[in-house]
Amino acid sequence: MTIETTPVGVLVLIVLMTLVTLITRFGGVFAMSFVKISPRVESFINAMASSVLIAIIVPMAVAGDAGALAALVATAITMLAIRKPLPAISVGLVAAALVRYFG
Amino acid sequence: MSAHTYSYQFQPHKVRAEFFRLLPISLFVVAFGAAFGLAATQSGLSPFQSILMSFTVFAGASQFGALDLWGTEVSVIPMLVVVFAINARHLLMGASLYPMLKDVSPARRYGLLLFLTDANWAVSAQDYQNGRRNLEVILGGGVVLWLAWVLGTAFGAYFSGLLQNPKAFGLDMVLGCFLLSMVLGGKATPRVMVVWLVAGVTSLAAWKWLPANMHVVVGALAGGAVGLFWLEPRVAGNSEQEGAGHDH
**For chain A, domain boundaries:** 1-34
* Predicted pLDDT at B67: 92
Contact B129 A50 (CB under 8 A): yes
What mean pLDDT do residues A12-32 have? 97
Q: pLDDT tens-digit profile of B48-79?
A: 999 999 999 999 999 999 998 999 999 999 99
Q: Which residues face A3 on adjacent strands?
A: B74
Q: What is the pTM of this model?
A: 0.86
In sign, the C-alpha dihedral spanning B132, B136, B142, B148 is negative
Q: Which residue of A has its CA nearest to B73?
A: A4
Q: pLDDT tens-digit profile of A44-100?
A: 988 998 899 999 999 999 999 999 999 999 999 999 999 998 899 999 999 999 999
- pLDDT of residue B246 exceeding 60, the answer is no
**For chain B, domain boundaries:** 12-186, 187-248
Which candidate, B233, B131, B119, places its Cα nearest to that of B176?
B119
Q: Which residue of B has its CA nearest to A81?
A: B184
**CB within 8 Å of chain B, chain A residues 44-83:** 44-64, 67-68, 71-72, 75-76, 79-80, 83
- pLDDT of residue B32 exceeding 50, the answer is yes
- pLDDT of residue B205 exceeding 70, the answer is yes
Please report, in angstroms and rounded to a whole number, the separation of the first and last CA atoms in chain A.
44
Q: Which residue of A has its CA nearest to B115?
A: A25
Contacts of B192 in chain A (CB under 8 A): 50
Q: What is the ipTM of this complex?
A: 0.90
Q: Which residues face A95 on adjacent strands?
A: none
Phi, psi dihedral angles at B238 (to 5 degrees):
-65, -45
- Give the whole-angstrom CA distance, residue B211 versus residue B120: 28
Which candidate, B93, B138, B148, B56, places its Cα nearest to that of B66?
B56
Which candidate, B29, B28, B52, B30, places its Cα nearest to that of B40?
B52
Using an 8 Å Cβ cutoff, are B32 and B60 in contact? yes
Q: Which residues face A20 on adjacent strands?
A: none
Q: pLDDT tens-digit profile of A10-21?
A: 999 999 999 999
- Give the whole-angstrom CA distance, residue B210 versus residue B235: 36
Pairing of strands B73-75, A2-4: antiparallel
Amino acid (one-letter) located at B135: L
Confidence of residue B245 (pLDDT cuts 50, 70, 90): very low
Min Cα separation B101/chain A (Å): 8
Q: pLDDT tens-digit profile of B144-163?
A: 999 999 999 999 999 876 66
Contacts of B44 in chain A (CB under 8 A): 5
- Give the whole-angstrom CA distance, residue A91 versus residue B163: 20
Of A7, A25, A101, the CB nearest to B90: A25
